[in-house]
Amino acid sequence: MEERHGPRISHWWRYGPPGWRRYAEAAESRTSGPPWRSTVLIAVFMLVGSNFAAHAQPHREQLDVFARVLLLLAALMLLWRHRHPSAVVFGTAAVTLVYLAAGYPYGPVFLAVTVGCVGAVAAGHRRAAWTAVGLLWAGHLLIALWLYRWLPPAGDGRASVLQEIVVGTWVLAVLALSELARVRREQWARERADRARAARLRADEERLRIARELHDVLAHSISVINVQASMGLALLDSDPEQARSALTTIRAASREALGEVRQVLDTLRAPGAAPRAPAPGLDRLPELVEQAAAAGLTVEVEAEPPHLPPGVDLAAFRIVQEALTNVVRHSGSRRARVSLTSRGGELRLLVDDDGPATGGDAGGSGNGLAGMRERAAALGGTIEAGPRPDGGFRVVAVLPSRTWEDR
């Protein structure tokens, strides 16, 4: 479990603000091993900075070999801060306490504890980090207020209130910085999860849209092909000319189906690629009438198709197409009516036939009505479909005929 802390922290920075991403990319390359580069920089800073601190605090013990060993040891512990954050924060706190008990000058020695504490809290080891820093603070108070009589430097006095306020402020600042890093990490993790969920939702919606388009395109064309193929087989010997006409219709329907399938699949190409043809709309209603006629169905259209927004126009076309396909497949009637009425910001579509239902299996998937309802619901419209009291079947769709910008 401990081995995941390094990669997890660097992955967190990758999704942070843009200024941190270069750091994340550099840190990512180091997660396979100890963070040598940053540890060396910290060690150099602690050693050099402590020399300056010693000159500014002549009343403290001067740096000797033991002091430099302690500084180097505290810095080198940070090599394992990703793999063992709890042990590192306790180790750096202990070494720092020994350094202060030996009477050496205050200064960059606290940097190792700070880095270890921030790393432990960010990795989820809050209790260990708070305990280690609390013990360091308690040990310093014990040294400064009581044990100073027996510890170097000789003649050292009791610590002042101002000095303890400074140390206490440093402790609180370290803990606050650690908690801030933890909160930001959790925030970025939630944002990353939200982006992933939104991307999955968009992908699911796009797959559903493509599946619905393919169903509508193929269901209608294959129904026409199925009817014409049956007719051609029945008339192949008795009426070759009529059979030839049926085969011609099959070829035309299959060509159109292939073209529309290519158009739908164009949406799967790389971003920026423009579609090869505009999306179909009610202006192609005469083509549906011709295809239905080729399948032996006479369609009467009442009213001219109104001007509609592209999304509504496509949905209306597909609903009429699916409704006529269902008549061809499942109705014994050879006549159907399509009525279009646009009024009050709504388009009312009505497709019905006189029936009766054939009860046969035309090879459909059974998802036609569900697909129509999904299309209507996506636009804020409704679909009602069912048998008529006097026989036959009726589909009534109500769709918004204006976009929100037009209202």
Burial of 324 (0-12, 13-18, 19+ CB in 10 A): buried
Listed as ranges, residues in the chain with pLDDT below 50 are: 1-31, 270, 272-275, 361-365, 404-407
At residue 265, the pLDDT reads 64
What sign for the dihedral angle of Cα 146, 149, 150, 155? positive
Burial of 397 (0-12, 13-18, 19+ CB in 10 A): buried
At residue 32, the pLDDT reads 54
Q: How far, in Å, CA of 120 to CA of 98, rounded? A: 21
At residue 88, the pLDDT reads 95
Q: How far, in Å, CA of 90 to CA of 102, rounded? A: 19
Crossing angle of helices 285-294 and 161-235, in 10° steps, is 40
At residue 30, the pLDDT reads 43
At residue 336, the pLDDT reads 92
User: Residues 200-226, buried b or exposed e (16+ Cβ, 10 A)?
Assistant: eeeeeeeeeeeebbebbbbbbbbbbbb
Q: Which of 242, 236, 240, 219 is nearest to 330 (CA)?
A: 219
Roughly how many angstroms between the first and final C-alpha of the chain, as a whole number?
Answer: 58
Residues ≥6 apart with Cβ < 8 Å to 317: 280, 281, 282, 284, 285, 288
Q: How far, in Å, CA of 319 to CA of 220, rounded? A: 11
Amino acid at residue number 15: Y
